[in-house]
Amino acid sequence: MTLRKNVETTLPGGDSTPVEWATMGGNTLYTASIPIRADGSIDDGDIESQTRLTLENLKSILASAGGTMDDVTQVQVYLTSKEYFSGMNEVYRTFFNEPYPNRATVIADLMVPGAKIEIVVHAHIETK
């Protein structure tokens, strides 16, 4: 028996990529979110627009797993440029309440063409 369970989301699937949007391991949610639109295209806007869509997608994933943004315990933000840090932070702070989740921010060359941001999250969700 595997501990890992898929979380069904409303986000568009990636038929050619062997990944899930989110999985549960016990009461821990593991997920990564990108600025993907419902039609599967990547938002081509500025960092604020991409951050907002990425975090809206995260909220949707959390809801699919029975959780909220308040259940998030750790966040890893990947940006393609240091110049995006301030704009990301402006939007990020509007999605979380104090005390904020633990967070690390890293500059990386992302695999999704056009994406300026990817956010990896761990959340503790009480299962019923």
Q: What is the pLDDT of residue 113?
A: 93
The CATH number of the domain where 76 resides is what?
3.30.1330.40
Q: What is the pLDDT of residue 42?
A: 95
Say which residues have a Cβ less than 8 Å from residue 124's Cβ, sequence separation at least 6: 27, 28, 29, 71, 73
Say which residues have a Cβ less than 8 Å from residue 63's Cβ, sequence separation at least 6: none
**Cα gap 115→94, rounded to integer Å:** 21
Domain assignment of residue 46, yes or no: yes
Domain assignment of residue 117, yes or no: yes
Domain assignment of residue 65, yes or no: yes
From 118, 122, 120, select the one nearest 47 (Cα to Cα). Answer: 118
Q: What is the pLDDT of residue 11?
A: 81
Domain assignment of residue 39, yes or no: yes
Domain assignment of residue 5, yes or no: no
Give residue 60's domain range: 21-124
Q: What is the pLDDT of residue 89?
A: 97
Amino acid at 38: A
Domain assignment of residue 68, yes or no: yes
Amino acid at 9: T
Quick one: residue 66, left, alpha or beta (phi over 0 = left, psi -120 to 50 = alpha)?
left
Domain assignment of residue 14, yes or no: no
Q: What is the pLDDT of residue 10?
A: 79
**Cα gap 57→26, rounded to integer Å:** 22
Domain assignment of residue 75, yes or no: yes
Q: What is the pLDDT of residue 23?
A: 81
Domain count, the chain: 1
Show pLDDT as tens, one digit a residue, over the chain (128 residues). 567 787 788 788 766 666 778 888 889 999 999 999 999 999 999 999 999 999 999 999 999 999 999 999 999 999 999 999 999 999 999 999 999 999 999 999 999 999 999 999 999 998 76
For the entire predicted model, the pTM comes to: 0.92
